[in-house]
Amino acid sequence: MNRKSIILSIEGLRLSKGEYSLIQNEKPWGIILFKRNIKNINQLKSLTSEIKKAMNDPLYPILVDEEGGRVSRLSNIFDTKKFAQYFFGNLFEKNKRIGENIYKEYLYLICKILNNTGININTIPVLDVLKNKTHKIIGDRSYSKNLKTIKSLGRICMNVLNNYKIGSVSKHIPGHGCSNLDTHNNRVVVYDSYNDLLKNDFNAFKKIKSHFVMTA
């Protein structure tokens, strides 16, 4: 099926007649859901079924941005506000084995919720390298200041998502950690040397085999 290279969002807890018609006729590549679209598991199942019916495709891409912490769209189902990526990075750096196991268990739970509600892509992991100058829009959304920690947990995240057949989206390429401004609102100029960027920010994305990437 030919689909347009655009991802749309919707307004509420179910598709309106206009949205159903729009999806059928315009055939966007996928639909991304936000907190306003998610009330409980049964409602979410019904919504994703409607979307897939409109596209006549049981594998149609339905995305969610469920990082945990400040960026949680599933908070009406599962409270993840304490589980920002930095929380897991900190655990991992204190005790690698315990940190890895707890992070895996957390990801398993998220993936099971996604599997059971018809969502097949999660826009994680965040691979931005945290620095002293990093804007607060990233902050605890980053695993760590330590590149090795970021790459290790990024691979763990990717492996768990793959095991549960959930698509992944690495972000925010080429690295938001080197910005002291929020790129949602500002045009950013980075003055770090090219060699420093290669060694750190760009390196965070190397060999992390996500299905997609999101730009900063």
Domain residues for the domain of 36 are 1-64
Residue 72 lies in a domain: no
pLDDT confidence band for 26 (50 / 70 / 90): very high
Per-residue pLDDT at 2: 84
| 144 and 113 together in one domain | yes
pLDDT tens, position by position, 126-177: 999 999 999 999 999 999 999 999 999 999 999 999 999 999 999 999 999 9
The verdict on pTM exceeding 0.75 is yes
Cα distance from N-terminal residue to C-terminal residue, the chain: 30
* Angstrom distance (rounded) from CA 67 to CA 191: 28
Flag whether 27 is in a domain: yes
Residues 118 and 38 in one domain: no
pLDDT for position 209: 87
Residue 70 lies in a domain: no
pLDDT score for 216: 85
Looking at the fold, whether 58 and 131 belong to one and the same domain comes out as: no
The last residue of one of the domains, among 42, 64, 86, is: 64
Burial of 170 (0-12, 13-18, 19+ CB in 10 A): buried
110 and 40 share a domain? no
Q: Is residue 191 part of a domain?
A: yes
pLDDT at 1: 65
Query: Is 189 a domain residue?
Result: yes
Same domain (yes/no): 55, 112: no
Residue 170: φ, ψ to 5°? -75, 140
Q: Is residue 20 in a domain?
A: yes
Asked if the structure places residue 71 within a domain, the reply is: no
Residues ≥6 apart with Cβ < 8 Å to 102: 88, 91
Percent of the chain with pLDDT over 70: 100
Q: What is the mean pLDDT of residues 115-133?
A: 98
Q: pLDDT (tens digit, 9 = 90+) per residue, 181-212?
A: 899 898 988 889 999 999 999 999 998 889 99
Contact call for residues 164 and 114 (beta carbons, < 8 A): yes
In a shared domain, residues 59 and 82? no
- Whether residues 18 and 113 share a domain: the answer is no
| 183 and 99 housed in the same domain | yes
105 and 168 part of one domain: yes
Pair 46, 127 in one domain: no
- The CATH number of the domain holding residue 159 is 3.20.20.300
Whether residue 51 is contained in a domain is answered as yes
Distance of CA 124 to the CA centre of its chain: 3
- Is residue 116 domain-shared with residue 11, that is, in the same domain? no
Same domain, 49 and 81: no
Q: How many domains does the chain have?
A: 2
Rg, the chain, Cα only: 18
The mean pLDDT value for 72-94 works out to: 97
Q: What mean pLDDT, rounded, does the chain reach?
A: 96
